[in-house]
A = this chain, B = another copy of it.
Amino acid sequence: MRLYLGVDGGGTGCRAAVAEADGPVLGRGEAGPANIASDPDGALVNILAATRSAMASAGLDESLTKEVHAALGLAGSNARGFRDRLMRRLPFARAHVVSDAVASTLGALEQEDGVVAALGTGTVFAIQLAGKVRQIGGWGLVLGDEGSGAWIGRAILSAAMAAHDGFRPSTPLLESLVTEHGGADGLVSWSLSARPADFAALAPRVMASQDAAALDVMARATADVVRSVELLQNQADLPVVVLGGLAPFFSGALARRWTVRPPLGSALDGALWLARQGRGH
């Protein structure tokens, strides 16, 4: 009996599930982060650890791993070169590597047409139409990721500096942010080494605030998120699934334009489905 393996790997952890062509999942496993762009070697170690754990929990001999047909949805796989290098090092009989966004989309929508907005530290948007998945965004904070947690955090700090210089009225929130970072100079020093996750840590506070500057940042973020879904819809009216830590904030605005519904399954479900299809995206 052929075995199929799905793997969902991202910045916080890696999950694997093994199954036959039909029927329930036989075994599951978990391991540490698997972002193949930021840590290719560590990602491989964790993918293999999660796989071993899934095989063991299914009562399958580890030697069967080399006969498995696998599909992996992995963060960082849209950065050039990383996907090819990983695929040469995987021990499976067949392996398809797709982005975590594609696996999330397949899991969230199964075979149905729809749009997925994944809103966390970064943002990425995808549409599935007649079995084809197209992804936009997901380019990172330097060149894109408008509306993401990192973008929101950076935008409120940028507003704080603009207010400090006199370009806009200050607000209690903006003044607090400058003071908490040890003044304008301290805030600038901090920003120069801050990573996207550091900026994103400010997002919950901005989202919850009624401060005029926060409302302004969130209005811009909402407009950017709506604009991305609008581009993918291309006049259509497909259901929208909103994923990620920022979903509770943005779901309302998206629901005013489109039908927002919960995901049918997880990114791991999407990867396993893809493995069973025996093809990549």
Contact = CB atoms under 8 A, between A and B. Distances in A.
A191 interface: yes
A166 B79 contact: no
A37 B189 CA distance: 9
A47 interface: no
A225 interface: no
B78 A185 contact: yes
A158 interface: yes
Interface in A200-238: 227, 231
Interface string A21-54: 0000000000000000100000000000000000
Nearest to A191: B142
Interface stretch (A64-72, A132-140, A244-252): A132-140
A80 interface: yes
A207 B191 CA distance: 28
A130 interface: no
Nearest to A232: B166
Nearest to A182: B80
B139 A161 contact: yes
Contact of A192 (B140, B165, B182, B227): B140
A82 to B, nearest CB: 8
A171 B140 CA distance: 22
Interface residues of A, number: 33
A2 to B, nearest CB: 32
A202 to B, nearest CB: 13
Contacts of A187: 143
B78 A167 contact: no
Given A136-B166, A227-B167, A161 B144 contact: yes
A189 B76 CA distance: 10
Nearest to A188: B139
Nearest to A166: B231
Interface of A: 37, 78-81, 136-137, 139-140, 142-144, 154, 157-158, 161-162, 165-167, 182-189, 191-192, 194, 227, 231
Give the 4 A-B residue pairs with the shortest CB-CB distance, closest first: A80-B185, A136-B165, A142-B191, A80-B186
20 contacts: A78-B185, A79-B185, A80-B182, A80-B183, A80-B185, A81-B189, A136-B167, A137-B165, A139-B161, A140-B188, A140-B191, A142-B191, A142-B192, A143-B154, A143-B157, A143-B161, A144-B158, A144-B161, A144-B162, A165-B231
